[in-house]
């Protein structure tokens, strides 16, 4: 690594010198660099091998039908790269509007595997050289690419909220009356469901059938293609795992998702800025509080406001309680998936109830908290809430954690199933863009709270918990360790909770955000949760993209399951810890 290169601006200048004809700074309100399409792979290779940008966090596309903010009419493919500490470096590649094709980065960064498929699915940008460019969230026969600006949903009413039909002369019209079928349904012109025969392999069986035919003559067992899910109690929601088995061993495993897809990003682009906050709660419904944080962080970056200290502390308290409850539930589910039934789960749910009581007390809702606002939080923590938080953080939760360790950590049954199962080597974890406990269990000490501190995290003492072997057991240990660290942070934050206002400035329902782009990311319980937003200076987001940790982490699932028994798939999946609301968005 070249030691002289530090800040992002230095890197931009350095890259410009290194690739004078391929790299130029992105136009004014944008950050990072603009790379010529045909040199992208070269620049990315240089970034990875020479400048230590090992981590491709997010790949997404912004549609510009007209020139905007200094961007010409194009499809702007946006990449976010990070180093172990520092970054981000934003890469913009402009793809042609008529035939948008850019080279794929999957050979360099496998973390693009799912994200490029998603970009193709929702935006219709082709990635040349992608090994398996199929739709991922929608089904293979879907008409159009919904995130393009000219794509209209069935219930389309107006380009942006608030809709004019609501006031001052608002008489209710049911949304479904706007569709000829009275349903959320639309056929492309000239298409009839009766005559339709799938031209393509809609359900994704072809590669598996192919594999099943090539049986290994030395292996006595038959090859079988098996569907696990989408309705399976151990897939934590509606996830379909398509598996080819040889006897009981896995030859190929492929997660298939999209059953909960609701085009959250399209909804977000219709909403006003403020209106997106309650929608983010619905992403990872287990940890709603921390979902709101990266979004408000990204918008605050554009607005240039800084929440007052008390608000920052309250945010940290909520985020750490969320981490605790997520890990507790996740370990509980691991027990459930192991077949030790619901006891461990119920113990976790009991603690979760108390934390949810606290959330309900401060925000008004147990699960869909809607608590963060731009520049602060919605309500102050009352004395009663602080007393409850103290009782939990200082007494109740440590006690639970001790008990959890006493019955789980050395439990022979758990160890027999977990040690050495689903090993994820650190290089593979980084290449696949894994984050959160999954990454740290493999021995990579990467945590956004340290790598790019946000809110008041700099004020607290805490350790980054790292595993050694990267197996299911280590992921469990990392989670327990992180719960201990969360309690440490909570105790410090509650002891030092400053007085003062909880909002910077006044709350405003109609907010205009200055033009530009921003990427807000936090260390959510499941990994790095990032929101990429583009503003055109108006009251609505121009682009609103979510880099969901569950979604990206799931990309490595096929690799780490290879060669394991089918019974281990459930526990490997449980150890990755996904929420389908976030995977499918």
Residue with smaller CB distance to another protein, 277 or 287: 277
Report the nearest approach of another protein to the CB of residue 285 (Å): 13
Q: By three-state DSSP, how is residue 553 classified?
A: helix
Report the nearest approach of another protein to the CB of residue 501 (Å): 16
Residue 324: name the closest of 383, 414, 393 by CA: 393
Pairing of the two strands 376-377 and 372-373? antiparallel
Q: By three-state DSSP, how is residue 79 classified?
A: strand
**Taking CB under 8 A as the rule, does residue 185 contact another protein?**
no
Query: How many Cα atoms within 13 Å fall on the side-chain side of residue 536?
Result: 15
Report the nearest approach of another protein to the CB of residue 250 (Å): 26
- Contact range with another protein by CB under 8 A, out of 46-54, 159-167, 245-253, 493-501: 159-167
If you search the block for the tokens 């794929």, which residue do you land on?
104
C-alpha 62, offset from chain centre: 18
**Taking CB under 8 A as the rule, does residue 183 contact another protein?**
no
**Taking CB under 8 A as the rule, does residue 419 contact another protein?**
no
**Taking CB under 8 A as the rule, does residue 162 contact another protein?**
yes
| CA dist., res. 558 & res. 569, Å (int) | 10
Residue with smaller CB distance to another protein, 16 or 370: 370
Q: How many CB atoms lie within 10 A of CB 514?
A: 12
**Taking CB under 8 A as the rule, does residue 233 contact another protein?**
no
Residue with smaller CB distance to another protein, 185 or 391: 391
Give me the phi and psi of 37, to 5 degrees please. -60, -40
**Taking CB under 8 A as the rule, does residue 214 contact another protein?**
no
**Non-local CB neighbours of 202 within 8 Å, separated by 6+ positions:** 139, 140, 141
**Taking CB under 8 A as the rule, does residue 160 contact another protein?**
no
**Taking CB under 8 A as the rule, does residue 505 contact another protein?**
no
Q: How many CB atoms lie within 10 A of CB 577?
A: 26
**Taking CB under 8 A as the rule, does residue 225 contact another protein?**
no
In three-state form (DSSP H/G/I as H, E/B as E, the rest C), the secondary structure along 472-495 is HHHHHHHHHHHHHHHHHHHHHHHH
Q: At 238, which helix (H) or strand (E)?
A: strand 237-238
Residue with smaller CB distance to another protein, 39 or 379: 379
Tokens describing residue 120: 């193709």
Pairing of the two strands 527-535 and 516-524? antiparallel
**Taking CB under 8 A as the rule, does residue 279 contact another protein?**
yes
Report the nearest approach of another protein to the CB of residue 557 (Å): 29
Among 143, 216, 395, 463, binds another protein (CB under 8 A): 395
- Contact range with another protein by CB under 8 A, out of 95-103, 447-455, 505-513, 519-527: 505-513
Please spell the DSSP secondary structure of 189-211, one letter per residue: TT--TTT---SS-TTS-HHHHHH
If you search the block for the tokens 């990755």, which residue do you land on?
576
Residue with smaller CB distance to another protein, 1 or 413: 413
**Taking CB under 8 A as the rule, does residue 512 contact another protein?**
no
Interacting positions 335-394 with another protein (CB under 8 A): 343, 350, 354, 360-365, 368, 370, 378-379, 388, 391-392
Among 39, 152, 161, 484, binds another protein (CB under 8 A): 161
Among 6, 170, 182, 420, binds another protein (CB under 8 A): 170
Among 416, 419, 565, 567, binds another protein (CB under 8 A): 416
Residue 436: name the closest of 284, 302, 566 by CA: 284
Residue with smaller CB distance to another protein, 242 or 287: 287
Report the nearest approach of another protein to the CB of residue 549 (Å): 24
| CA dist., res. 565 & res. 378, Å (int) | 48
Among 21, 410, 458, 499, binds another protein (CB under 8 A): 410
Report the nearest approach of another protein to the CB of residue 284 (Å): 16
Tokens describing residue 81: 């790269």
Number of residues in contact with another protein under rule CB under 8 A = 50
Q: At 356, which helix (H) or strand (E)?
A: helix 343-363
**Taking CB under 8 A as the rule, does residue 406 contact another protein?**
yes
**Taking CB under 8 A as the rule, does residue 494 contact another protein?**
no
**Taking CB under 8 A as the rule, does residue 506 contact another protein?**
no
| CA dist., res. 507 & res. 522, Å (int) | 23
Report the nearest approach of another protein to the CB of residue 272 (Å): 8
Among 274, 423, 428, 464, binds another protein (CB under 8 A): 274
**Taking CB under 8 A as the rule, does residue 2 contact another protein?**
no
Residue with smaller CB distance to another protein, 276 or 290: 276
If you search the block for the tokens 């961007």, which residue do you land on?
71
Q: CA angle 423-429-433, nearest 5°? A: 145
**Taking CB under 8 A as the rule, does residue 285 contact another protein?**
no
Q: CA angle 341-344-348, nearest 5°? A: 135
Residue with smaller CB distance to another protein, 224 or 368: 368
Q: CA angle 447-423-466, nearest 5°? A: 30
Q: How many CB atoms lie within 10 A of CB 506?
A: 6
Interacting positions 295-324 with another protein (CB under 8 A): none
For another protein, the binding residues (CB under 8 A) are: 161-163, 165-172, 174, 271-272, 274-279, 343, 350, 354, 360-365, 368, 370, 378-379, 388, 391-392, 395-396, 403, 406-408, 410-413, 416, 507, 509-510
């Amino acid at each position: 690594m070249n030691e002289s290169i530090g800040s992002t601006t230095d890197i931009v200048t350095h890259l410009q010198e290194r690739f004078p004809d391929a790299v130029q700074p992105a136009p004014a309100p944008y950050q990072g660099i603009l790379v010529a399409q045909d040199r992208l792979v070269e620049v990315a290779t240089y970034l990875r091998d020479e400048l230590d940008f090992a981590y491709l966090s997010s790949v997404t596309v912004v549609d510009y039908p007209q020139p905007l903010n200094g961007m010409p009419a194009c499809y702007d493919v946006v990449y976010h790269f990070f180093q172990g500490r520092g970054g981000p470096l934003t890469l913009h590649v402009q793809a042609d509007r008529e035939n948008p094709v850019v080279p794929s980065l999957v050979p360099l960064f496998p973390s693009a595997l799912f994200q490029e498929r998603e970009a193709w699915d929702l935006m219709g940008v082709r990635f040349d050289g992608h090994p398996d460019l199929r739709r991922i969230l929608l089904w293979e026969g879907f008409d159009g690419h919904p995130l393009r600006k000219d794509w209209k949903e069935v219930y389309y009413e107006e380009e942006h909220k608030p809709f004019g039909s609501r006031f001052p002369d608002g008489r209710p019209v049911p949304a479904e009356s706007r569709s000829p079928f009275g349903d959320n349904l639309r056929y492309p012109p000239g298409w009839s469901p009766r005559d339709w025969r799938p031209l393509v392999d809609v359900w994704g069986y072809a590669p598996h059938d192919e594999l099943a035919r090539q049986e290994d003559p030395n292996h006595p067992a038959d090859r079988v293609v098996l569907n696990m899910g989408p309705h399976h109690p151990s897939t934590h929601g509606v996830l379909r795992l398509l598996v080819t088995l040889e006897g009981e061993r896995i030859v190929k495993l492929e997660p298939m998702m999209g059953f909960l897809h609701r085009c959250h990003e399209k909804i977000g682009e219709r909403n006003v800025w403020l209106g997106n906050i309650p929608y983010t709660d619905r992403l990872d419904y287990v940890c709603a509080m921390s979902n709101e944080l990266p979004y408000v962080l990204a918008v605050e970056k554009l607005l240039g406001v800084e929440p007052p200290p008390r608000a920052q502390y309250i945010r940290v308290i909520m985020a750490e309680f969320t981490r605790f409850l997520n890990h507790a539930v996740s370990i509980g589910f691991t027990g459930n998936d192991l077949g030790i039934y619901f006891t461990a789960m119920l113990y976790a749910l009991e603690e979760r109830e108390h934390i949810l009581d606290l959330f309900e007390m401060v925000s008004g809702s147990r699960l869909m908290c809607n608590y963060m606002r731009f520049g602060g939080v919605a309500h102050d923590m009352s004395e009663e809430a602080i007393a409850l938080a103290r009782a939990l953080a200082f007494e109740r939760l440590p006690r639970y954690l001790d008990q959890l360790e006493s019955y789980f950590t050395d439990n022979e049954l758990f160890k027999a199933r977990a040690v050495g199962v689903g090993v994820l080597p650190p290089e593979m974890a980084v290449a696949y863009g894994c984050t959160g406990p999954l990454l740290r269990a493999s021995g990579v000490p990467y945590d956004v709270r340290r790598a790019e501190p946000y809110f008041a995290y700099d004020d607290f003492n805490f350790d980054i918990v790292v595993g050694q072997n990267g197996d299911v057991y280590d992921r469990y240990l990392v989670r327990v360790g992180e719960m201990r660290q969360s309690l440490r942070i909570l105790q410090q934050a509650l002891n030092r909770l400053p007085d003062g206002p909880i909002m910077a400035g006044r709350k405003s329902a109609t907010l205009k955000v200055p033009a530009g782009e921003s990427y807000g990311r936090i260390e959510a319980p499941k990994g790095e949760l990032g929101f990429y937003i583009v503003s055109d200076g108006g009251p609505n987001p121009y682009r609103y993209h979510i880099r969901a940790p569950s979604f990206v982490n799931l990309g490595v699932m096929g690799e780490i399951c290879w060669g394991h028994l089918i019974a281990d798939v459930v526990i490997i999946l449980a150890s990755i810890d996904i929420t389908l609301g976030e995977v499918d968005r």
